[in-house]
A and B are shown apart, each in its own frame.
Chain A
């Protein structure tokens, strides 16, 4: 009797959240896969089944491959650097150094800003001729003005710097939380044994922070797919798509060229990449990490 009542209440309490969750997450995820096999509806002509045609386009689409590589390099440039900096920030802020509160504010502040505002602020540094970087180049070294964002070779690096600035303080928080849960006894024991600080960090602290590092890495990978707002302000994906990322390309294909069928196909690629990440996460979390 009691159990029956729990069933009903359970489903009743759950249903509003599930309704919205299914409508805006699960249904569109599944529908995306379906749409990728259909053409884009045009005017009066409805969408029709075209099999793998969109995927053939995908494989032959040079821009897609370029954007995928950009995303790869963006991830490689952003993730290890921001995690490393975040760890250093957390160790410093968690210590008894003078000025740690002010430093924490400085490290964390970019996290509260909208990425679109961050991009505006950084434009100030990057603008050719006028921006602070060019001013320094000509002022200190007498170099001619360079166009950092207009050059395919440097534009992605410029974006990576912005992403690291924005994200490191956010990841610092997770390390800070982890550090505060580590018993101080460990440090004292290491001191008594005469272990050097570096040894302590390498052999005790770093392994204990491993779950955090994994968690942060996964967040960082998801963010490297998700964060594209700055592109709108800084480059619009240019020059020659050199700074375009996958989600930005999906936006362009869907809402600039209105090729929704092909945009669905591109989204499928994104979903596949995220699924691989999920599977990897499952195995990594199961094996390599020890919980306290």
Chain B
């Protein structure tokens, strides 16, 4: 497994290093292959779906066809509204709850925190039957709000922010308190600014998670006005009637496009955010 062996003393890499590099490249190529393949078919005419020649003409037509065949603009709008709503609510609710757990002493705190952590295991994702009944009782079936409601109080987010808040030295709040700040002022002026990297990390994880969510939106929506892109894509590709693969692939890439492009541009931040959010 050596990756940096004693070889650095010599001019050429050791056999070990070469072997490791080769294995890494092979795996990376295998991992990239499905996406590259989808990309290839999406930007070439359907005649070149399985003919890999460099002279194949480029085309943008597949994207055009997909865009015209289904109301993707509306789906995108729905998804953007959905993830924005979830993110804002998660930030507000999570910040308040995390601050309470990190800085106040009150009876029942530890039990409540355990109940919050329980959500890491029992996620709303698997409680679809009862949550559907609740949403129906509230009269919110087929609304964008209904897709987001089960997720806006996130045990993961509360936990993450609490850990960050607890690492902030107490002396800072005393200083602010002396200056006459209320708790909300303290939160706004001291805690939130210091926790910015956590917010960024959590925000990226949350947005990509809810952009990609499928099962619950599928259950709770049934019209073009509410469907997010994932459900829209599944409806689109389920129409068997003569849709070419290249068009379906173009639609697939289109729906994941914003996230994928953001990832390629900011891949270092993405990876670091996921890392930060994963460290306990």
Contacts and interface: CB of A to CB of B under 8 A. Distances in A.
Contact of B128 (A27, A31, A201, A251): A251
Given A92-B24, A112-B259, A174 B112 contact: no
A25 B101 CA distance: 19
A179 B229 CA distance: 36
A59 B29 CA distance: 46
Given A97-B21, A104-B271, A113 B212 contact: yes
A133 to B, nearest CB: 11
Contacts of B237: 120, 233
B118 A105 contact: no
Interface stretch (A12-20, A68-76, A152-160): A12-20
Contacts of B20: 92, 95, 97
A79 B92 CA distance: 35
A229 B133 CA distance: 21
B249 A25 contact: no
A247 B215 contact: yes
A54 interface: no
10 contacts: A10-B100, A24-B124, A25-B150, A25-B153, A28-B131, A114-B212, A124-B34, A170-B274, A173-B275, A264-B130
B185 to A, nearest CB: 13
B127 A25 contact: yes
Nearest to B149: A24
A116 B23 contact: no
B15 interface: no
Q: For B29, B123, B212, which residue has the most chain A Cβ atoms within 10 angstroms?
A: B212
A200 to B, nearest CB: 8
Interface in A70-92: 85, 88-89, 91-92
Interface of A: 3, 6-7, 9-14, 16-21, 23-29, 31-32, 35, 85, 88-89, 91-100, 102-118, 120-122, 124-125, 127, 130, 132, 135, 165, 168-170, 173-174, 176-177, 191, 196-198, 200-201, 205, 215, 222, 225-226, 228-229, 232-233, 247, 250-251, 254-255, 260, 263-264, 267, 270-271, 274, 277-278
Interface residues of B, number: 97
B37 to A, nearest CB: 7
A35 B132 CA distance: 13
Contact of B245 (A13, A95, A118, A124): A124
A31 B25 CA distance: 51
Contact of B4 (A96, A104, A106, A274): A96
B126 to A, nearest CB: 6
Interface in B245-259: 245, 248-249, 252-253, 255-256, 259
B267 A108 contact: yes
B208 interface: yes
B182 to A, nearest CB: 10
Interface string B258-280: 01100110010011001110111
A274 B121 contact: yes
B133 A260 contact: yes
Contacts of A116: 212, 214, 230, 233-234
Nearest to A91: B1
B24 A99 contact: yes
**Per DSSP, are chain B's interface residues mostly helix, strand or loop, or mixed?**
helix
Interface in B150-195: 150-153, 155, 158, 183
A124 B25 CA distance: 23
A170 B279 CA distance: 13
Interface stretch (B54-62, B69-77, B102-110): B102-110
A14 B100 contact: yes
Contact of B105 (A6, A31, A130, A198): A6
A125 B31 CA distance: 14
A247 B126 contact: yes
Nearest to B130: A28
Contacts of A102: 28
Interface in B1-45: 1-6, 16-17, 20-21, 23-25, 27-29, 31-32, 34-35, 37-38, 41
B127 A267 contact: yes
A97 B3 contact: yes
